[in-house]
Structure 1
Amino acid sequence: MPICKSRTLALAIGSLLSCNATANQAPPALEEVLVTATKREQSLQDIPLSVAAVTGEKLDEIGVENLADLTVLVPNIHFTQTGISTQMRIRGIGSDNSQGFEQSVAVYADGIFRGRAQLFRAPMFDMDRVEVMRGPQSTLFGKNSIAGALDLITAKPTHDLTGSLTANYEAEYGTTEFTTIVSGPLTESLRGRIALRKYDDPGYFKNTHKGTDEVEQDIASGRVSLEWDASDDLTVNYIGERNTFDTDGRAIEMTLDEPSLIPPAASPFGGLTFSQILNAFGAQSLDAEGFDGEQDYTRQTGSPEFSKNRSTSHTLKATWDVEGYTLTSLTGAVKYDYIENCDCDFTPTPILDLRLEEDYSQLSQEFRIASPLGEDVEWLGGIFFQTYDQYFYDILQIPQTSLLVPLLAPQIPTATLLANSGASRSFNQSSNTQAVFGQATWNIKDDFRVIVGGRYTHESKRSDKEINAVKFNGDAYSDAEAAIAYNNALIFQSQVFKTDTEQLKLRDPNAQGHDLIGNRSESAFTPLLIAQWDINDDSSTYFSYTKGFKAGGFDPRSNKPTAFEFEEEKATAYELGYKSSIWDNRGEINLAFFLTNYDNLQVSQFDGAVGFNVGNAKETRVQGLELDGRVAISNHLTASYGLSLLDFEYLDFKNGNCYFNQVGVKNDVGIEECDYTGKSGVYTPDYTFNLGFDYRRDVGQNLEFAAVLDTQFVDGYQVHVNLDPKGEIDSHTLISLRLQIGADNWHAAILGRNLLDEAVLTYSANAPLSGGNFQTNTFYSFVNRPRTVALEAAFKF
């Protein structure tokens, strides 16, 4: 860390502490944090789970825009975008590149499942709090929470008329954000809230080939919430939300470009980097151009790149109190669609583009009944139904001027057939899920209780998938030689292999054709057992045992028909925890030791050409420690801290995809596989440490000054999808600082994020064709946003 930056941080912390030393008032106790992680409102300190809660006020203070920004506040959570998807992980467990996956980290919005990867990009605004539950949460949150669950709880309508207008401007890149909120009574029994947000970001990358700034974002969001007291015992809540979030460009640049392993004597391109090879093609009057292979927030791509997203959701919740029992009905409808275009060779040279489209529609219904609290046995139970329909389509487009054609012509005489054509995937999937669940707490003594629970889930899925070589007019190629060219060039087996079996089988005996239909039906019971002991009035300990389950399914992205279906994954988890209030309720300690064993962990890895193969890692072990809490140092200063130690290991994973130049073994269908047994996975730092300070003090009549400092130190970890050793990134420190002055009805603030200007790679993979055709190890990577400083003003009534 540079000395000047270290001194700046030390002075900032020292100033906070020295200002605090003048306080004469008695220090206050910490405010109680209430959460609903157990489907009942409880104090965070009373719940026998590893749970973190972030208030809406805190989210606003550090400028959280989406789930990606949340990760700097909670250890053991990682978020990234890739070339074709979005990923989130807890304790190193998540879901990879496949639109066929339900996510291992289940994300809910006001109790409604939003676990599809594309919804992870949706904006967050006007929040009450976010609850993060680490480890399998299958009993109350369902099969899609095998790694953990997040519940995004939006702000509710108020009984009094309130409103606010907040404007935020970031000077370096010109980012603007406006949020308007109005809340209050509509009638004596009906309250409403409306929140509108507009966010515009010109981008923090420079595309030097196009002369444009990227990634340009245009996001518009709106939410309406209604709360109706239908009677003294019945409350009905409705939430409707719509988001449009569009981007141009991507936060991707080339970050590694090593010389070819081909000897110079064997080829004119031997010993050259991928960029130099492209320049050499350009010297031959082809439309080829090299790129900058250094990490410097510049990129060079030629084709249009965009993502246009629309999402809507409707939530209806009815809560009825009947003689101490609480009946809850929760209905949700979620829809989204998007269209994307990716210059997926990630160079300015015309090679190949990828266009993606997806439509998704989901309906869910849950009924719960909960017993009164304070009894010897407290229980809740319910039933759950969900159905969804998904359509996914993408087409890998090879333009007329693609470098791929002259490159392959010496080996494949029919390579000219590839020009002005594409490889299309069409995928449909539908699912029906039913579940029954229950959980009971037996208060054996005042200081000892046992919690037992379980969930029985049944899911059926149907899918069909077809891959075709197509002309740009959309007609399917029936030419067998074109099918051979696609298979040899891109490991891409089209539907033609099925219809012209005799000729093609002679050329490729492993080819099967790609016109597939699949059906799955599976059931699972996931039990829960927790023993909790109150050591005294201020501390407790617990031990938990639970199982998790995520259904298998079908993959739209693999180019091999033999990799169409993947199996369900299962988890067995153990956790030993300790929670305590200390120092006369001025501090708290939350400690959890965890061990989780995963069977058939679902993985998706780059195939070395233009696709991803889905499979299962047979055995995986995740274990570690999590420590967090708060300390009220004085009337004016509160500190928060968090520490995670993580040990992730594949115990049996012999079928991993090989990284560049790694020697593997071909399986019985011709796919080369490498043994990952004993290795750690992606996004698994050995340790992460968080430390924050919140200082507030009156500086005049009705005037308050606030300083909020948040730091996170993360050990180095792997970000390459195929675990290439060169994909290991260094440790880094992220710091944000907010300085604010304001009164009851206004505030002005300055917010700095990533103050040390750390450039952190969040995802890396090999550029298509670089390794397979030229034997160069060439990475493209996503890179986080550099240092930003924003001004904010807000007015309230």
Structure 2
Amino acid sequence: MALLLADQPAIAQDTPAGAPQATDSRGLEEIVVTARRKEESSLKVPVAVTAIGSATIERTNASDLTRIAQISPQIQVVNSSTAVASFVSIRGIGAASNDQFIEQSVLMDIDGMQLGRGRVTGLAMFDLQQVEVMKGPQSLFFGKNSPQGVISIKSRGPGDTLNGYIRAGYEFNARERYIEGAIGGPLTETIGLRIALRADKTAGWLKNVAPEGPQVNPVDPFFPNIPGRYKDRRPGSRNVAGRLTATWTPSSSFDTTLKVLVADSHNDGDAGSRELFCAPGVTKLTDYGVADPTSDCKLDGRVSVGGLNPAIASEMTGGKQTEAFGAGRNTLITLVSNYSPTDNLTLTSTTGYYHYKYRGIDNANLTSRPVVSGRNNASNTSVTQELRLSSNFGGPLNFVVGAFYEYGKRLQDSIAILRSVGPDPTTGLHYTLANISRDRTDAYSGFGLVKWAFAEQFELSAGARYTKEVKDSERVSPYLHAAFAGRFSPAGTVLTGKYKDDDLSPEVSLSWKPEERQLVYATYKHGYHSGGFAAPTTLSVINNMGPIGSPGTLQYGPEKTKGGEIGYKASLLDRSLRIELAAFRYNVSGLQITSFDGRNFAYSINNAGKARTQGLEASAEWRATQELTLRGAFGYVDAKYVRYVGAPCTKAQSAVTPVGCVQDLSGHQLPRAPKYSATGGADYDIEVGNDMKLGFNVDFKYASSSNQQETLDPNAFQKAYWLLNAGVRLYQDDSGWSLALQGRNLTNEHVSTYTLDKSAGGIGEYQAIPLRTREIRLEAGYKF
């Protein structure tokens, strides 16, 4: 950095005074970000932010967050089967996702509405303008707070002229078909409109080798008849989504934008993307000690999953379904209005509404002989409102002040059969238990920031956000089979609790611009993530809503982050080279962790005493020639438990100490936090005549080894891996036809991104959420 700074005056002196300035067509486009909730150059923002534009999204076919993570270092995204939708971590820190009510430590901002949970994040990734990944606590500008970072997803607007596109593709391995398109433009001088649609259908990339039916289940004497293999491939899905965008600009002082996203999703069962594997020395997967004859105990793209007994499925769904399935409806509405009473003041109102409803049932033990099944119905309604007043004075002082409110209502209605033991003598029902969880959340927040440009090259900004959150929770057990009395909460159990907490999160940053296109910054930040009550699918007899840390309590505490970072950004060599450097260190108290309780078939949440993440990251993009662009990024993160003496045990440890087993994980690396990660690639585009271009691209991602399970089970390690992507496309640049052949994970790596103990399995048997295997995709499109 010192060499670059020292070199700038010398470069400037190479051009004689008064001589015309040379222009270089190799200049990279300016990156405009909204990290401070307004559009500004990335070189003015003291935040480590990775911006991924529409061209990159289209080139890499980044139609979900896992693909965004594959082209960004120090970001981990895992597709989850819960209402949270995905586990997301930045720089090694992320909240657990296997509880239906927990909110993520990494916030999602979709067209101005902040979400800590919700399956819509996996359905909104089409017709996008930009995705921004903001790293580290973002306490001032997004929602009620975000302790580890923000992923902002911004869809396209109508545009100034009539424009649109249509594209369709086919992926050969998963037999995936998709089509999407959009059209937009001005209707009048003041009104603009855009409509975008996407539909896709996937057979699945995991091959199911379970025997075809009908079969006899030796583990279930009461319902022995099972249909055998359920679908030849998993995870099958089909989705339809549409977005309407309307803008109104009646005057130069007022504008408003309405966006309505509606999405329907269907799948063959929520556990469809999971795969089972075994520890070394374990050769067969089992269900209550009975081996599954067709399992192979490996992460190799093969599963052995049988269908549910139709009578059991019908009983658990009230006669509405006899097979495993999942179905959801998502609605997301945002209204953003800006009013400028003067040239230097802007009042912004952002209103958000999100509603989600889902129902489904699946084979939870994931073998050819289903013995554990779960039916989960869930709904969520969130309403947010933010008012923000910002200034743009010509003098050295400017400010942003605002207030935020969030209302949330959540419901989870679960039924589970853990093992078939015949009919209940009182009700005649065969399933084990039913459980209902309800939450209401009210969050109030106020924030303010003052920016002071106290010298020509320096700016100091300081602000804080105050948050108060109240949660009213209820956990109900309406039914329990008599055979499980004494193990789970009896029928009629009602647990109620109220959680209240508040927090003040300050933030200070100092920026120095040694040159027009360089920025050096240092920041100190706080981040906050509220606690609450866990919502497990089963309630044990000792569960209660007592104080945090008391035996059996469902209550968990807040997660707080404190620390800072220093960074450097620059656009050099006549804007053909862009680099970013950052070094960071944050301490996290009360890190929220989930672990699987195999005895109770439920996830529990607790707080680790203290964790720390520290490291550095560097990225560069260089347009070496007019045809060739090179890019690369590297990250090192040391994310570990500083103090965690009451951590839950592994399954093997619990077998030795079945009651009250805990372990000390202090000093150990956090789960899913590889120390080293890197991404890189190249684009090469040449003219081939008739306004056509031929483009080649190659990308890679590297991640070092990491443990994928909260208990740090030694058998849950994922070794270091490389992912290789490449593509070729023939296209017309600004408008016209395109044809692309794209490959992802070309070396067909089998990678576990999240590991859990297998339901009804023995020691050394696990379930994993794997990365998608090799993809070969052919796509054709037209844009205008």
Partners of 2:589 and 2:560 in 1: CA distance: 5
Deviation at 1:305, TM superposition (A): 3.3
How far does residue 349 in structure 1 lie from its aligned partner after superposition? 2.1
**Correspondence list, 1:430-509, <5 A:** 430-470=440-480, 477=481, 479=482, 482-484=484-486, 487=487, 493-496=488-491
Partner of 2:312: none
Shift, 1:523, TM fit = 1.1
Q: Quote the Cα distance in structure 2 between the aligned partners of 1:101 and 1:435.
A: 19
Task: Assess if the C-alpha contact under 8 Å between 2:43 and 2:517 holds in 1.
Answer: no
Structure 2 distance, partners of 1:527, 1:87, is 27
SS of 2:71's equivalent in the other structure is: coil
2:660 counterpart residue number = 671
Asked whether the equivalents of residues 144 and 404 of structure 2 are also in contact (C-alpha less than 8 Å), the reply is no
- Among 677, 681, 685, the residue aligned to 1:692: 681
- In 2, Cα distance between equivalents of 1:345 and 1:423: 17
The aligned amino acid for 2:476 is E
* Residue 564 of structure 1: aligned partner: 554
Measure, in 2, the Cα distance between the counterparts of 1:110 and 1:439. Answer: 22
Match of 1:246 among 257, 266, 270: 266
Q: Is the 8 A contact 1:26 1:635 kept in 2?
A: no
For structure 1, which runs of at least 5 residues remain unmatched after alignment?
1-24, 261-271, 281-287, 406-413, 471-476, 488-492, 500-513
Residue 346 in 1 paired to residue 366 in 2? Answer: yes
Partners of 1:277 and 1:198 in 2: how far apart?
41
Alignment equivalent of 1:756, drawn from 747, 751, 758 = 747
Deviation at 1:777? Answer: 1.2
Shift of 1:581: 2.2
User: Structure 1: how far apart are the matches of 2:590 and 2:639?
Assistant: 15
Which amino acid is 2:695 matched to? A
Secondary structure of the corresponding residue to residue 653 of structure 2:
coil
Structure 1 counterpart SS, 2:754: strand
Q: Could you list the per-position Cα deviations for residues 220-271 of structure 1 after superposition, in whole angstroms to 9, with x for gaps in the alignment?
A: 01000011112221111100010112111412222115668xxxxxxxxxxx
Match of 1:40 in 2: 38
After the TM superposition, which of the residue ranges 354-363 and 94-103 deviates more from structure 2?
Answer: 94-103
Superposition CA RMSD, Å? 2.4
CA contact (8 A) 1:199 1:219 kept: yes
The answer to whether 1:298 aligns with 2:302 is yes
Matching residue of 2:105 = 104
1:763-778 matches, within 5 Å, as 763-771=754-762, 776-778=763-765
1:467: Cα distance to partner? 2.7
Correspondence for 1:737 among 705, 716, 726: 726
Specify the SS of the correspondent of 1:141.
coil
Residues 122 and 115 (structure 1 numbering): CA distance in 2 closer, same or farther, change over 3 Å? farther
**What are the superposed Cα offsets for residues 93-146 of structure 1, whole Å, 9 maximum, x if unpaired?**
112111121111100101101221533433410000011101110111144411
Residue deviations 1:64-102, cap 9 Å, x none? 121121101111111113454631111121121111211
Is the counterpart of residue 139 in structure 1 residue 137 in structure 2?
Answer: no
What residue identity is the alignment partner of 2:524?
Answer: Y
Q: Measure the CA separation in 2 of the matches of 1:387 and 1:83.
A: 24
Tell me the distance in 2 between the aligned counterparts of 1:544 and 1:415.
64
The amino acid that maps onto 2:640 is E
**Is 2:364 the partner of 1:369?**
no
Match of 1:71, as an amino acid? A
How far apart are the structure 1 equivalents of 2:298 and 2:359? 30
Q: Report if aligned partners of 1:278, 1:290 keep a CA contact under 8 Å in 2.
A: no
Partner residue in 1 for 2:716 = 727
Q: How much does 1:573 deviate?
A: 1.9
Query: Is the 2:286–2:760 contact (alpha carbons within 8 Å) kept by the matching residues of 1?
Result: no
The one-letter code of the counterpart of 1:67 is L
By how many angstroms is 1:582 displaced?
Answer: 2.3
Q: Offset of 1:750 from its aligned partner?
A: 0.9
SS of the residue aligned with 2:55?
A: helix
- Would the aligned equivalents of 1:258 and 1:273 in 2 still touch at CA under 8 Å? no
Does the aligned pair in 1 maintain the 2:593–2:710 contact within 8 Å?
no
- Higher mean displacement: 75-84 or 565-574: 75-84
Matched with 1:516 is 495
User: 1:400 Cα deviation (Å)?
Assistant: 4.2
1-structure distance, mates of 2:655, 2:37:
48
Give 1:633 deviation, angstroms.
Answer: 0.6
Q: What does residue 87 of structure 1 align with?
A: 87
After TM superposition, the structure 1 stretch with the greater mean CA deviation from structure 2, 186-195 or 551-560, is: 551-560
Q: Is the 1:278–1:349 Cα contact (8 Å) retained in structure 2? A: no
Query: Residues 81 and 232 (structure 1 numbering): CA distance in 2 closer, same or farther, change over 3 Å?
Result: closer
Corresponding letter in the other structure for 2:333: H
- How many angstroms apart in 2 are the aligned matches of 1:382 and 1:218? 41
Alignment partner of 1:222 out of 239, 242, 246: 242
SS in 2 for 1:140: coil
Superposed CA deviations along residues 183-209 of structure 1, whole A, max 9, x for unmatched, are: 112122111000011111111112222
Per the alignment, in what secondary structure is the counterpart of residue 39 of structure 1? coil
- Residues 223-302 of structure 1 mapped to structure 2, 5 A cutoff: 223-249=243-269, 250-256=272-278, 273-275=284-286, 291-302=295-306
Aligned 8 A contact 2:653 2:661 in 1? no
1:61 alignment partner in structure 2: 59
Task: Report the TM-score, using the length of structure 1 for normalisation.
Answer: 0.85
Equivalent residues of 1:343, 1:354 under 8 A apart: yes
User: Which position in structure 2 is the counterpart of 1:660?
Assistant: 651
Cα drift, residue 469 of structure 1: 4.1
Q: Secondary structure at the match of 2:119?
A: helix
CA deviations over 1:706-743 (Å, ceiling 9, x no partner):
12221111111111232111111111111222211122
Equivalent AA in structure 1 for residue 248 of structure 2:
W
Name the CA shift for 1:389/1:691 in 2 (closer, same or farther; >3 Å). Answer: same
2:778 matched residue in structure 1: 791
Question: Partner of 2:602 in structure 1?
Answer: 611
SS at match of 1:57: helix
CA distance in 2, matches of 1:183, 1:709: 32
Structure holding more helix per residue: 1
CA contact (8 A) 2:284 2:293 kept: no
CA contact (8 A) 2:643 2:665 kept: yes
Give the alignment of 1:123-134 within 5 angstroms.
123-134=124-135
Deviation at 1:430, TM superposition (A): 0.3
Identity over aligned pairs, percent: 27
**Compared with structure 1, are the counterparts of its residues 622 and 291 closer, same or farther at alpha carbon in structure 2 (3 Å cutoff)?**
same
Do the aligned residues in 2 keep the contact of 1:191 with 1:228 (CA within 8 Å)?
A: yes
Structure-2 separation of matches of 1:117 and 1:238: 20
Q: Distance in 1 between matches of 2:721 and 2:526?
A: 34
Distance 1:177 1:663, change over 3 A: closer
DSSP-derived class of the 2:366 partner: coil
The CA distance in 2 between the partners of 1:433 and 1:453, in whole Å, is 20
Residue-by-residue CA offset, 1:617-643 (whole Å, 9 max, x unaligned): 011011111111211111111112111
1:338 alignment partner AA? Y
The answer to whether the 8 Å contact 1:642/1:691 transfers is: yes
The 2-side partners of 1:791 and 1:273 are apart by 38
Give the CA deviation at 1:34: 0.4
Q: Mark the CA change 1:140 to 1:83 in structure 2 (over 3 Å): closer, same or farther.
A: closer
SS at match of 1:662: helix
| Number of corresponding residues | 708
Amino acid at match of 1:574: G
What residue is the counterpart of 1:115 in the other structure?
A: 116
Quick one: which amino acid aligns to residue 581 of structure 2?
Answer: L
Give TM-score, length-normalised by structure 2. Answer: 0.86
State the alpha-carbon separation in 2 of the partners of residues 279 and 619 from structure 1: 41
In the other structure, the counterpart of 1:592 is 582
* Aligned position for 1:548: 527
Residue among 705, 708, 714 paired with 2:703: 714
> What is the alpha-carbon distance in structure 2 between the residues aligned to residue 346 and residue 52 of structure 1?
38
**Worse overlay, 85-94 or 632-641:** 85-94
Partner of 1:583: 573
Distance 2:657 2:176 in 1: 50
Q: Report what 2:319 is aligned to.
A: none
Q: Distance in 2 between matches of 1:98 and 1:275?
A: 25
What is the SS of the residue equivalent to 1:58? Answer: helix
CA-to-partner distance for each residue in 1:143-187, whole Å, 9 max, x for gaps?
441110011011011121112111111233321111121111212
1:779 aligns with 2:769: no
Contact 1:103 1:144 in 2 (8 A): no
Letter in 2 for 1:687: Y
